[in-house]
Every structure is written in structure tokens, then in C-alpha cells.
């Protein structure tokens, strides 16, 4: 398979902090229904090393929980390379990862960020009912955006 065919989904979060696990839950729900050119990765947070990983893909989707309550329960945004200041190199935003990918590896995959609205970010296992509904809508949108066949078993 050629690199220009490869697609990466990075689920960012922590399933031990209730709705912060939305990025991981997204991957859990979708990974068995993806074609062979898709890869999925779970991350607590993005780090410098992720720039090398991203450099191997034509398209990257960053999926993360969001504290903002979006009208549809989720929001898509294009992700463009951007240098940002950070206190630490152990937590980067997707734009910074793309900036590093472009500047270190001379690669610039097409990238999007899918923010899914969460309600509770406390130490607790499991998504709230609102987050589960928002996840369902975000999955439907992903299938529509990518042109993949929607799998009715997703709840």
C-alpha cells in the first residue's frame, strides 16, 4: 500500500476520566469497520514523537473530547500546521504536531480535528448519556465525511 492511500485516526483522551474517553470510544466503535488503509492509535496526549508517526500518512483525523457544548454535539475543523508555545514537550496540540511533521519530515498530510462534546471529566469509568449520544452523531458524521459505509450496529 502506498503512503498516499494511508489514513490515520488518533483518539486522544483518557477512558478513566469519564467523557475525556470520547476519542478512545470513537476508535473502539469504528476500528472493526474500517478498510485496510486505515490505522488507529490511542493517545493520552500528543507528543513530539507523533510527528514522525503522522509523517507516514496522507490523511490524519484527530478525535478528542471537548468541554464546549457544540450545537450538534461535535464539531469538525481543518487542522493546519502551526507553531505554538508550550511549557512542556509532553503535550502538544494537533496543529503543532503537523507543524513538526512539515518542518522535520517535509510532509503535510491533510488533517482534521473532530471535537466531541463531553459533560463530565471526573475520575470515573464510562461515558455520560449525553456524551454517548454525541459520539453516535460524530460517528455518523465521520462515515458521511469519509464516504465509508455506515454500520447500523453502532450505538
Tens-digit pLDDT profile for residues 33-69: 899 999 999 999 999 999 999 999 999 999 999 999 9
- Pick from 1, 26, 61, 32: nearest CA to 149: 32
Per-residue pLDDT band for 90 (boundaries 50, 70, 90) equals low
> What is the arithmetic mean of pLDDT over 127-138?
98
Tell me the domain boundaries of the chain: 3-146
Instruction: Note if the pTM is more than 0.85.
Output: yes
- The 8-class DSSP code of residue 148 comes to P
Angle between helix 129-146 and 22-30 (nearest 10)? 50
- The 8-class DSSP code of residue 60 comes to E
- Is the separation of the CB atoms in 141 and 76 below 8 Å? yes
CA distances from 152 to 86, 115, 140, 143 (A): 41, 22, 10, 11
Topology at the third CATH level for domain 3-146: Rossmann fold (3.40.50)
Per-residue pLDDT band for 1 (boundaries 50, 70, 90) equals low
Q: Using alpha carbons only, how large is the chain's radius of gyration in Å?
A: 15
Amino acid at each position: 500500500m502506498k503512503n498516499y492511500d494511508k489514513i490515520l485516526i488518533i483518539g486522544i483522551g483518557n477512558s478513566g476520566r469519564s467523557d475525556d474517553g470520547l476519542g478512545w470510544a470513537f476508535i473502539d466503535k469504528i476500528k472493526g469497520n474500517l478498510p485496510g488503509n486505515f490505522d488507529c492509535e490511542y493517545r493520552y496526549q500528543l507528543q513530539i514523537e507523533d510527528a514522525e508517526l503522522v509523517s507516514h500518512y496522507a490523511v490524519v483525523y484527530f478525535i478528542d473530547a471537548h468541554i464546549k457544548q457544540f450545537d450538534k454535539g461535535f464539531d469538525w475543523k481543518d487542522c493546519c500546521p502551526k507553531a505554538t508555545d508550550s511549557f512542556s514537550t509532553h503535550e502538544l496540540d494537533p496543529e503543532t504536531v503537523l507543524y513538526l511533521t512539515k518542518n522535520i519530515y517535509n510532509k503535510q498530510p491533510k488533517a482534521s480535528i473532530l471535537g466531541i462534546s463531553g459533560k463530565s471529566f471526573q475520575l470515573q469509568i464510562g461515558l455520560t448519556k449525553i456524551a454517548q449520544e454525541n459520539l453516535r452523531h460524530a460517528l455518523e458524521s465521520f462515515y458521511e465525511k469519509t464516504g465509508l459505509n455506515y454500520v447500523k450496529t453502532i450505538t
